[in-house]
Chain A
């Protein structure tokens, strides 16, 4: 290969591009509408090709998934069998309580997650980058999916719509470092906020109302539904899996595992929920 001679006249072009990038980053951080529109247009333009590629390569992806995740699936299977046995017993104990609770909610006319309608969407793909926890779904503003909507799956909370174009929407998952969810604990009904951790699927529980509250491993966390909350109340979010109460620490280190397997989602529901002044009893 011949030796390349640097040319100082080329530097202004590079400097100009660097400045352009810095301007774009600044504008985007200030939530500029033009940039959001540009992103939406790009996503809509590529959407049909993405669909075609997805259709062609989905068998390849499935085989790859099968090969790379078989160990994990076996472990999951054993763990889930044990959990099902435990939950079946718990379900029968709580069936009676649930009936009383739904009667009380009806009497008090409190909005409940069961009252919320939504848009069912298919998960198309995961994040294109390595440092974000997002999913893309096949519905957008054209089908009524807008930024801010709560996303749920059968087991519980998935995340929140953070970007939406006409035919696509991006969901930021609850284990994303930038997303906090206001929750309350199952038994002590303490309020707290979950926080995702980079490279980890577990959520850290922070801003606990009463750090000395008797929160136990295995306890479930539900959306708090406080006044003006972005999420409807009482959606299951996660299960407490580890509690470290180190002497001298003000707050215990509590980790919770999302109830939904966020890596294996096929369908989700975007809830039509307008934040209200409603609260749930004890939910704050």
Chain B
């Protein structure tokens, strides 16, 4: 049942990312919904689930980008794993956690994506404009995290730490 909810989560976010958010750009940047969802899954379920979700979500969005297939998957897998490990060190939750993690993850994930894509041969990424875009997108990620985290919480069901 949880797998179905994860599937619905990925499909919904892919559709919103490809059909709605290209028209809702701010200073040329759109949020990365699948990246924010990966961070949220890692936060809720730990590094392994975060990495697997990041891999699947990254592959899904890669199908709609012109960058080589696997670039987002690689960046999101590493972000999912990293944030999953990082959340183990958090001792309490707060209402600011979603935008904080969304913004921080957007920043790290954005720079990681740029680095992986540049190594994969994507042109024109090492420019001041790319850095500006990563920062604006990270701010946008922080805002959309407020909506994405509850959606992810629904998809994840009971949190991992509830069993310990």
Chain A contact residues, CB within 8 Å of chain B: 1-7, 10, 13-14, 17-18, 20-25, 27-29, 35, 38-39, 42-43, 46, 49-50, 53-54, 57-58, 60-61, 64-65, 68, 124-132, 134, 136, 162-163, 170, 172, 177-178, 196-200
Contacts and interface: CB of A to CB of B under 8 A. Distances in A.
Given A130-B32, A131-B114, A199-B130, A178 B124 contact: yes
B124 A42 contact: no
Contact of B70 (A2, A24, A125): A24
Given A131-B133, A178-B124, A1 B93 contact: yes
B46 A131 contact: no
Given A14-B48, A17-B55, A126-B22, A24 B66 contact: no
B98 interface: no
B66 A163 contact: yes
25 contacts: A4-B89, A7-B48, A17-B52, A17-B77, A18-B78, A20-B55, A21-B55, A21-B74, A25-B116, A28-B68, A46-B15, A60-B20, A125-B19, A129-B72, A130-B110, A131-B133, A132-B66, A134-B66, A136-B18, A162-B66, A177-B123, A198-B123, A198-B124, A198-B129, A198-B130
B92 A1 contact: yes
B24 A64 contact: yes
B64 A128 contact: yes
Closest 9 CB pairs of A and B: A199-B129, A4-B88, A177-B124, A24-B70, A61-B23, A198-B124, A126-B22, A21-B74, A42-B63
Interface of B: 11, 14-26, 28-30, 32, 46-48, 51-52, 55, 58-61, 63-74, 77-78, 81, 84-85, 87-93, 110, 113-114, 116-117, 120-125, 127-130, 132-134, 137, 160-161, 164
Given A53-B19, A125-B22, A130-B110, 15 more contacts: A1-B161, A2-B164, A17-B73, A20-B55, A29-B68, A29-B121, A58-B23, A126-B23, A128-B21, A129-B30, A129-B61, A132-B67, A178-B124, A197-B127, A198-B123
**Interface centre among B18, B48, B161, by most A CB within 10 Å?**
B18
A4 B85 contact: yes
A35 B85 contact: no
Nearest to B31: A130
Nearest to A127: B22
A127 B48 contact: no
Nearest to A25: B70
Contacts of A18: 74, 77-78
A25 B68 contact: yes
Contact of A127 (B19, B65, B128): B65
Given A14-B77, A57-B20, A130 B133 contact: yes
B164 A22 contact: no
A10 B24 contact: no
B73 A131 contact: no
Contacts of A3: 88-89, 91
B23 A128 contact: no
